[in-house]
Amino acid sequence: MIVLFFGTLYYLYAKSKDKPVEYDTVRPFVTNIYKKTVATGSVVPRNEIEIKSNISGIIDEIYVEAGQKVKKGDLIARIKVVPNMTNLSNAENRVNRAEIALNNATKDHNRNKPLYNDGVISAELYQQYQTAMENAKEELRSAKDNLQIIQKGISERYGTSSNTLVKSTINGMVLDVPIEVGNSVIEANTFNAGTTIALVADMNEMIFKGNVDESEVGKLKVGMPLILTLGAVEDEKFDATLEYIAPKGVEDQGAIQFAIKAALSGKHSDVFIRAGYSASADIVLDKRDSVMAIPEGVVKFDDKHMPYVEKMTGDQLYERQNIKQGLSDGINVEVLEGVTMDDQLKAGEKIKPVAIPRGGGTH
């Protein structure tokens, strides 16, 4: 009984005694380390043109639709003119006055021509009657042209350059046609931007527009390479070159953001990039190729912010080893001094496997 009693006490003591903590170890490895910053934005055409009307009226016909390619001079739409009644009345009165003036000038010319032929009046005087008649003819032609333009938006003498025909001003693709047949449009002038008939852009020249935080903008330089990831194109990266950094920041939700622009390379011909795709840009600020590195999680710091690691010296025995760090990407850090490729460094505590009850667990 005594032996059994003491044996039970020893068993309980041994069971209650904490087992030593075991740790995983890692070795230094060779890798490439890139220090990057990320900018968010979108991919848009460099040149996006709003095609506007040069005359007020009603859309009579539309010749294009979104997604269609057009060339400079191609027809976009035709506008039916709705004349202003005051202008129409004035134009008709001008034609009437011009006809009266021409009739009077013709009579004077015809009356004095025989007198000139008989030598009764001088050539100088006759020339005045002849010039007056020609001026009256030209005034009538001008008045009729003005009336036709007010009525139809086009004159017979200038039919090929009608304001009623809206044409593309560049080669590109139609991105949007925000109007429909029957819509009223307003002409573009000094006091009004005018109604947009269509949006046309050159889709062969795309740029990235984004923003970076003020803490990173000082590290950027024009000409830096960017790697773009588009939200709508999976497993595909696009190269770009930084070409613009805004000289002035804009406050956004309490943070100062600076606008940037980057030109996409022409090596994306096999992928159609639509205007407005959301994108994120990785900007490489610094890099190290083929350097010795360790996970950043194994690095510790003392009270003086000196970095060190714990190097294995025996079975679950470790000692402090000061190191000199290089570039870090937030996951791995370059090690310049302090460890070798053969060292084993203390990492996290080993995860013990969880015993699963027989029978597949609870029911």
From 206-210, 274-278, 345-349, the region with the lowest mean pLDDT:
345-349
* 199 against 267, higher pLDDT: 199
210 in a structural domain: yes
Residue 136 lies in a domain: yes
Domain membership flag for residue 8: no
pLDDT band at 211 (very low <50, low <70, confident <90, very high): very high
Q: What is the CATH number of the domain that holds 90?
A: 1.10.287
> Is residue 208 domain-shared with residue 267, that is, in the same domain?
yes
- Strand pairing partners for 188? none
Pair (187, 280) in one structural domain: no
* 133 within domain boundaries: yes
Q: Is residue 7 assigned to a domain?
A: no
Confidence label for 317 from pLDDT (cuts 50, 70 and 90):
confident
The count of structural domains within the chain is 4
Confidence band of 51 (pLDDT split at 50, 70, 90): very high
Q: Is residue 13 part of a domain?
A: no
**CATH number where 190 lies:** 2.40.50.100
For range 104-121, the mean pLDDT: 86
pLDDT average, residue stretch 284-311: 89
Q: Quick count: other Cβ atoms within 10 Å of Cβ 17?
A: 7
State whether 241 and 301 are in the same domain.
no
Residue 361 has pLDDT above 80, yes or no: no
The tokens for 5 are 């009693």
Among candidate residues 242, 261, 286, the one where a domain is terminated? 286
Quote the mean pLDDT of the chain.
83
Residue 250 has what pLDDT? 92
| pLDDT attached to residue 172 | 92
| Same domain, residue pair 211 and 176 | no
Predicted local confidence at residue 363, as pLDDT: 45
CB-CB contact of 145 with 162 (8 Å)? no
* pLDDT band (50, 70, 90) for residue 254: confident
Q: Are residues 220 and 334 in the same domain?
A: no
Whether 213 and 316 map to the same domain: the answer is no
- Domain harbouring 303, CATH code: 2.40.420.20
Judge whether 335 and 322 are in contact, CB under 8 Å.
no
Q: Other C-beta atoms within 10 Å of 230: how many?
A: 20
CA distance 174 to 88: 36
Assign 2 a pLDDT band (cuts: 50, 70, 90): low
Q: Backbone phi, then psi, for 262, in 5-degree steps?
A: -140, 140
For residues 73 and 172, state if they share a domain. yes
Q: Is the pLDDT of residue 281 over 80?
A: yes
Which DSSP letter does residue 192 get? Answer: B
- Is 241 found in the same domain as 104? no
Q: What percent of the chain has pLDDT over 70?
A: 84
Q: Taking the C-alpha atoms of 185, 187, 193 and 197 in order, what is their torsion angle to the nearest 10 degrees?
A: 50
Say whether both 76 and 167 belong to one domain.
Answer: yes
pLDDT surpassing 50 at residue 26: yes
**pLDDT score at 294:** 92
Confidence of residue 295 (pLDDT cuts 50, 70, 90): very high
Q: Are residues 254 and 303 in the same domain?
A: no
The reported pLDDT for the residue numbered 193 is 83
pLDDT surpassing 80 at residue 253: yes
pLDDT tens for residues 121-177?
888 888 888 898 999 888 888 888 777 766 666 666 655 556 678 899 999 999 999
pLDDT of amino acid 198: 94
Which residues span the domain enclosing 77? 48-81+162-201
pLDDT digits (tens, 9 = 90+) for 228-240: 989 888 778 888 9
Place of tokens 């080669």: 171
Inside any domain, residue 361: no
Q: Are residues 253 and 139 in the same domain?
A: no
**Are 128 and 171 part of one and the same domain?**
no
How many Å apart are CA 246 and CA 256, to the nearest integer?
A: 12
